[in-house]
Amino acid sequence: MNKKDLQAYLNTHAPNICKSFLDKALNFQQEKNKARSVSKRWSEKKVQKSAERMLEQFIEAIHAKVASALSTNSRKSEIAWRNKIEEIELIDNLSDMIGELEFE
């Protein structure tokens, strides 16, 4: 399972995880942007892209964590990924984490 497949899996099985993370990242980036001097403020498009990059990094970190829990051979099997995701209760853990997540 690659990173795009993992994100698609999360969007299908727990759509609020990525959406909530992106909402919080966007709010964080908007607040950061407001703190910049007027001449240094980013466009709304750049703020959005920055929040999307944060989501990409979040997915990459999840991917790396699950991949490290799989044997080298099983990393190619989508079934092994799904089984590991269920075994480590990834969706429940991410849902709890997102609920408590605050950027500083």
Q: What is the pLDDT of residue 76?
A: 85
Tens digits of residue pLDDT in 13-66: 999 999 999 999 999 999 999 999 999 999 999 999 999 999 999 999 999 999
Cβ proximity of 81 and 91 under 8 Å: no
* Residue 43 amino acid letter: S
pLDDT band at 74 (very low <50, low <70, confident <90, very high): confident
Full-model pTM:
0.91
Please check whether residue 51 is in contact with residue 58, taking contact to mean a CB–CB distance below 8 angstroms: no
**Angle at alpha carbon of residue 21, lines to 51 and 98, rounded to 5°:** 150
Q: How many CA atoms lie within 13 A of 63 on its CB side?
A: 17
Question: What phi and psi, each to the nearest 5 degrees, are found at residue 12?
Answer: -80, -45
